[in-house]
Amino acid sequence: MKPAKALLHPAAKPVLFALCLLPFAWLVFGIFADKLGANPAEYLERSTGDWTLRFLCITLAVTPLRVMANLPPLARFRRMLGLFTYFYVVLHFLCYAWFDMGFDWAETAKDIAKRPFILVGFAAFLLLTPLAATSFNRAVKALGAKRWQALHKLVYVIAGLGILHFFWMRAGKNNFAEVFVYAAILGVLLGWRLVRRLRTPVKGPAFP
């Protein structure tokens, strides 16, 4: 089966949905099987944060892959991948709010305000929220295509904030190897868009 036909197969979206849930399933399994190491809370916080960045990279990779590989059907998966990015960032925030702050929202607000790396991460979470909320067809019609596309360009700001959050988090241990990997991937994906934009105006949404 040709790649384009495979991407249009009715089973393609359910398969992708199941694959996107695998990291979550592994974390749930790890909790009950006691396989998350000596500090399960820290493992869950970091893992959900890592998967947020990974899904953000995957989502932003859809358009370059679609164009370079000439696979228009890839576009039908952007929305799902974008929503899974939001799913994992919500889990990341809930892990922090629960394990670090015990769901004490007053203390959580104070902690966010006084710690820059958490403030930056929380800002990215807040900016991602309207993108997830307006990822549906009705939202596109309600906002209008131009305003919807302008709103969803916030994904570029979100990507920068996500990398900065990760950088500051790793600064305490002076461990930047993974940060540079994610920064390089996102740099290439956003750089590709910039070059393409300068050559020919981009039509269509940037996210999800």
Listed residue (17, 89, 29) closest to 54, CA to CA: 89
What is the residue extent of each domain of the chain?
Answer: 3-199
**Res. 8: pLDDT tops 90:** yes
What confidence score (pLDDT) does residue 200 get? 73
pLDDT tens track for 125-144: 999 999 999 999 899 899 99
Arithmetic mean of pLDDT, 13-32:
97
As a whole number, the mean pLDDT across the chain is: 93
Listed residue (19, 69, 57, 13) closest to 166, CA to CA: 57
Q: Which residue has 């900016």 as its token pair?
A: 127
Arithmetic mean of pLDDT, 168-197:
92
- Burial class, 50, CB count within 10 angstroms (exposed 0-12 / middle 13-18 / buried 19+): middle
Neighbours of 155 (CB within 10 A): 22
**Res. 203: pLDDT tops 90:** no
**Res. 33: pLDDT tops 60:** yes
Q: Where are the alpha helices (DSSP H) in 69-207?
A: 78-95, 105-114, 116-133, 137-143, 145-152, 154-171, 177-199
What confidence score (pLDDT) does residue 205 get? 47
pLDDT tens track for 62-105: 999 999 999 999 999 999 999 999 999 999 999 999 999 999 99
Give the integer Cα–Cα distance in Å for 192 and 199.
11
Radius of gyration (Cα) for the chain, nearest Å?
18
Which band of pLDDT confidence, cut at 50, 70 and 90, is reported for residue 201? low
The pLDDT > 90 percentage for the chain reads 86
Give the integer Cα–Cα distance in Å for 126 and 11.
33
Read off the amino acid at residue 135.
S
Neighbours of 109 (CB within 10 A): 12
The pLDDT > 70 percentage for the chain reads 96
Q: CB of 152 within 8 A of CB of 206? A: yes
* CA 205 remoteness from chain centre: 16
**The token pair that represents 52 in the structure block:** 């947020």
Q: CB of 123 within 8 A of CB of 161? A: yes
Listed residue (168, 141, 46) closest to 100, CA to CA: 46
Which band of pLDDT confidence, cut at 50, 70 and 90, is reported for residue 207? very low
Q: At what angle do helices 78-95 and 116-133 cross, to 10 degrees?
A: 140
pLDDT tens track for 93-103: 999 999 999 99
